[in-house]
Structure 1
Amino acid sequence: MKSIRHSAIIAAVLCGTTATADVTAQQVWDNWTDQMEVYGQGFSTSGEDMSGDTLTISDVKIEMSDDEASVSANLGDIMLVENGDGTVTITVPDNYPIELNFSPEYGDPSAVNLAVEHEGMVLNVSGDPEAMVYDIKADRYAISVDSLEGQAGEEVELKDAMFAMIDLAGTYSVKTDNLTRIAYAFNVGALDIDVLFNEIGGDGIVSANADLADLDMFANIATPIDMDMEAEMPPFVDGLALEGGYTFGAVSYAFDIDVDGEAASGTASVDHGSLGFDMDIDGIAYVGESHDINISMLIPEEIPFPLDVSMGKYGFDFQIPLSQGEGGPRDARLAFDFTDLAVSDAIWNMADPQNILPRDALTIALGLDAQVTPFFDFLDPAQQEAAMMSDIPGELNGAQITELTVRGAGAEITGEGAFTFDNSDLETFDGLPRPEGQVNFAINGVNGLVDKLIQMGLIPEEEAMMPRMMLGMFATPVGDDMLTSTIEVNSEGHLLANGQRLR
């Protein structure tokens, strides 16, 4: 719960004005202060003055804190101008400071002084008390570290630390019915991150740079109107729901570290990728992927040659139901893939100096779908104790292997299959629901791989006899070092391999 609260606080401070709004200047300001009070924080000002169509809030300061950290932002004067067409334009200073103070339970206090700067920022507010919309544009919005104090400042000398968004545009809206519904969608043409630290009293240096293009972000958040931000359990049972994600274009990253006689440098790049998440009382979904990944590193004191790694794609997909739903089985999913993972010859030579193994790229991919019946709503505090005390919190009704691929070093294993489960029969398989279905495998090049591992001395020839015998028992030859296998559980609970009963 604390992480949700911290995220909301940080967003409010950095955006400076992205809270809620109405169609008049006073309503904009009142609604903003009301939203901040939800987080248990607030403003201090030296006064408010309405002159003509402009409301000026003088010396605005936001202060937020918890047991170990505090945030203080001095925004200066904010002007809210009524445009005469039901909209309000908000103007904040083009730069203002933020101070972060940390007082950890263990360790010395420290402080970080930030500066926020923006160029060409325009913020217009429209809508009505029940549906409010912000339209935001900025040529550049940057946050930089001005100085470090306390323990942080004693360890390193700050030279540069800056995070900048270029060509920012988006909308932010708030609607209130039985819940407060926040939605935003932003596009950033480019992100630029630069970091440079020097070692105090030495020659050490830490530098890093990252650039990212075409970042698109969105989120939809529903919260109870009087949500308790200090509650131990997030109120999903009362309607709290979160969904969001982002897509991005080309990413490049470089770093150089040389501290205490130890050095490392490297670069990384990604062509494009995405991430999405969804969480509410019904469950969690989390999916992401990145394409055309390249990493190069040099650690001269540890490894005398560059480490080069590339990957065609990396992805994952998780879907976990957490409630009983409206009856009947719920969908679940677990999937991941590492596609075309390749390393440089220098790395291959460490494991295979005689170049015996084919140096194909490695692919590992698994996709599992399932249908399950939860017996509880696991995010409902009233049901959590019963769920924890239950021996069986739900049923597995079906499972499908939608993808199975292991490919590399001249060998490949693929598979697919599906099973249903009879939860009324817990005896046939010793307390597990009885499955029925089959899975089919294609196994190519495995005997050749075993021969090469024997040639390399990694497997003694006598120890290779057992896996070869197992392949002979469970697989059928269909070509030169090509095997197939069908593992089946029939309606009587018999386990068969290629039609031969094993159980």
Structure 2
Amino acid sequence: MMTAPAAWADVTAGQVWADFKGYMEGFGYSITAEEAQDAGRLTVTGISMTMQMPEDAGTATFEAPDMSFTDNGDGTVSVTMPEMSTLDFAVDAEDEGDVSGTIDYGQTGFAMTVSGSPGDMFYDYSADEMSVALSSLAVEGESVQIDTAQFTIRDMQGQSTVKLDDLRRVAQRMTMGALAYELDMVSPEDDGGRLTMKGELTSPEFDGTLATPLEPLDSDDPNAMIEAGMAVDGGFTHSGGRTEFRFVEEDDAVEGTASSESGEVSVRMDAGQMGYTLGARGLNLRAESAELPFPVELAMAESLLDFTVPVTPGEEPQDFGLTLTLGDFTMSDMIWQMFDPAGQLPRDPATVALDLKGKARLDAPLMAPETMESDEAPGELRELSISSLIVRLAGAELTGVGDFTFDNTDTTTFDGMPRPEGALDLRLVGGNTLLDTLVNMGMLPQEQAMGARMMMGLFAVPGDGEDTLTSKIEVNEAGQVLANGQRLR
């Protein structure tokens, strides 16, 4: 009785192979292979995976490397693959031309052990090095010259769990010592152009979950996939990256380096919301060309794009949001010298940041093909809050916050737009000083500066500090627009 639970938790080689097939078939692949069983070892050869492309545009076929599954005698299974293998692919796309090629797959010190039980498996894997390289590519039978297109992972460790209930649920975490990439290709336009790129990311990590229906997915209809239970929540991070690049076209060449101290990419999507995050810190770019008298050097302390939108219709308004940050942007003194040789403009770091939140009622599935192809709005905007607005540049700073609601029964007051009601508070520091400096530099004509001051006088009033203006823009329930209590509309 005491040993029975261990026996129940065993997995066999055939069950692990069946789990792999089920995972790929859930994404719409049709799989054929030859299986040979011998003394606790299952060898699978001639693995072919075919998928029908969206909108009946053709098929994509992948010939995968051989795999072997060995029962270890303790209820676990070891999975092995050749140290060097190839993956052939062919895409037969109607009206787009055929694409085919070969990917070389290499690994050193790869080990994978699967444990658990059918419907609840745990994968533990590692590798000293893994590489994927595109060795050949042909479009409509014509070869495309790609001398190098490869990425390599070193010191990889990972764990995955696969659970089956009403869905296939996968949770995965993977760490790497480094991810290197290299590209060297000739321009397909046959104009003599050539692009070379080489770089590396330090300590990349991936952590995420995926839920997919047990039945094959219909890739033609993303909304049907979501309604069937598909959900994704995962992110990729790294602790530093560097890229060297060179692009040659005719007699000109542009080359340089780009680097960052850290970065992240994440995606999340389910029946409730869809969102993306793309961010980096410590960005630096240096580029030079024969057509430029000096190198171009740019830097940014932080960049961030994050947005969330609802995807499933409902009677009640749902949350959405957008955050955009371009923080502490700087450029080299050589670039400043081009338009400000006397150093009249402050060279403080520049920042643009916006944080929006709101509510909207979605009347149609956002990811449904008919919604994406329609020119009509899929719902109604109900609320919008500007949590933060910052524009800081050349010694001037504009900040603001505001809140608005929208009456969708009135689309005539503002010519087709639902009538807003609310207020936006703005504050400008250093605006007049910046105008004076631009006029003295000859970059802004006096009459244009005068027009800008008249506009500021119309919309703003003096604030509580030197060279400070404030403005309160309101839209009331009657559709009137007021600036600091003065009616403009």
Smaller-chain TM-score bracket? 0.7 to 0.9
Q: Deviations over 1:285-305 (max 9, x none)?
A: 1122110100011121x3232
1:260-284 deviation per Cα after TM superposition (whole angstroms, max 9, x unaligned): 4331211000101112211223331
Instruction: Answer yes or no: is 1:242 the counterpart of 2:232.
Output: yes
Contact 1:357 1:452 in 2 (8 A): yes
Aligned-pair CA distance for 1:69: 5.0
- In structure 2, what is the Cα distance between the partners aligned to 1:347 and 1:295? 13
Tell me how far 1:232 sits from its aligned partner. Answer: 4.2
What's the counterpart of residue 168 of structure 2?
A: 180
Deviation of residue 310 (structure 1)?
A: 0.6
**CA separation in 2, counterparts of 1:40 and 1:446?**
60
1:162 shift after superposition: 2.9
What number of residue pairs does the alignment pair up? 472
Matches within 5 A, 1:321-336: 321-325=310-314, 327-336=315-324
User: Which secondary structure does the structure 1 equivalent of 2:261 belong to?
Assistant: strand
In 1, Cα distance between the equivalents of 2:47 and 2:373?
46
1:73 is aligned, of 46, 64, 78, to: 64
In 2, the alpha carbon distance for the partners of 1:210 and 1:247 equals 16
State how far apart, in whole Å, the 2-side matches of 1:63 and 1:492 are. 63
- The answer to whether the Cα contact below 8 Å between 1:88 and 1:126 also exists between their aligned partners in 2 is yes
Show the counterpart of 1:99.
Answer: 88
Q: Is the 8 A contact 1:378 1:387 kept in 2?
A: no
- The equivalent residue for 1:289 is 279
Would the alpha carbon gap of residues 422 and 196 (structure 1) be closer, same or farther in structure 2, given more than 3 Å must change? Answer: closer
TM-score, normalised to structure 1, is 0.83
What is the CA deviation profile of residues 400-424 of structure 1, one whole-angstrom value per residue up to 9, with x for unaligned ones? 1111011111111011122234455
| Structure-2 residue corresponding to 1:342 | 330
Q: 2 CA distance for matches of 1:364 and 1:30? A: 52
CA distance in 2, matches of 1:227, 1:108: 27
Alpha carbons of structure 1 residues 167 and 433: separation in structure 2 relative to 1, 3 Å:
same
The CA distance in 2 between the partners of 1:315 and 1:442, in whole Å, is 24
Q: CA deviation at 1:108?
A: 8.0
- Residue of 245, 249, 253 corresponding to 2:243: 253
Instruction: Please report the RMSD computed on the Cα atoms of aligned residues, expressed in angstroms.
Output: 3.3
Match for 1:450 among 435, 443, 447?
435
Deviations 1:363-422 (A, max 9, x none): 1111111122223344467xx579959x77433332211110111111110111222344
Distance 1:429 1:161 in 2: 53
Task: Name the TM-score, length of structure 2 as normaliser.
Answer: 0.85
Q: 2:207 aligns with which of 209, 218, 231?
A: 218
Relative distance call for 1:271 and 1:176 in structure 2 (3 A) is same
Residue 485 in structure 1 maps to residue 476 in structure 2: no
State whether residues 137 and 144 of structure 2, in contact with CA within 8 Å, keep that contact through their aligned partners in structure 1: no
Give the partner amino acid of 2:256. Answer: G
Match of 2:485 in 1: 499
- Which residue of structure 2 aligns with residue 369 of structure 1? 357
Deviation at 1:259, TM superposition (A): 5.2
Aligned to 1:415: 400
CA distance in 2, matches of 1:420, 1:203: 56
When residues 491 and 270 of structure 1 are mapped into structure 2, their CA distance, relative to the original with a 3 A threshold, is same
Report Cα offsets for 1:114-139 as digits up to 9, x if no partner. 32121221111122222222111111
Deviation at 1:210, TM superposition (A): 0.7
- Shift in Å, 1:152: 9.5
1:455-493 Cα offsets, whole Å, 9 max, x none, are: 233322122222211212222223321111222334555
Unaligned runs of 5+ in 2: 1-8, 53-57
- Report the CA distance shift for 1:397/1:24 in structure 2 as closer, same or farther (over 3 A): same
- 2:391 is aligned with 1:406: yes
Partner SS, residue 154 of structure 2? strand
Unaligned segments of structure 1, at least 5 residues: 1-20
Give me the whole-angstrom Cα distance separating, in 2, the residues matched to 1:497 and 1:202.
Answer: 57
Q: Is the 8 A contact 2:29 2:51 kept in 1?
A: no
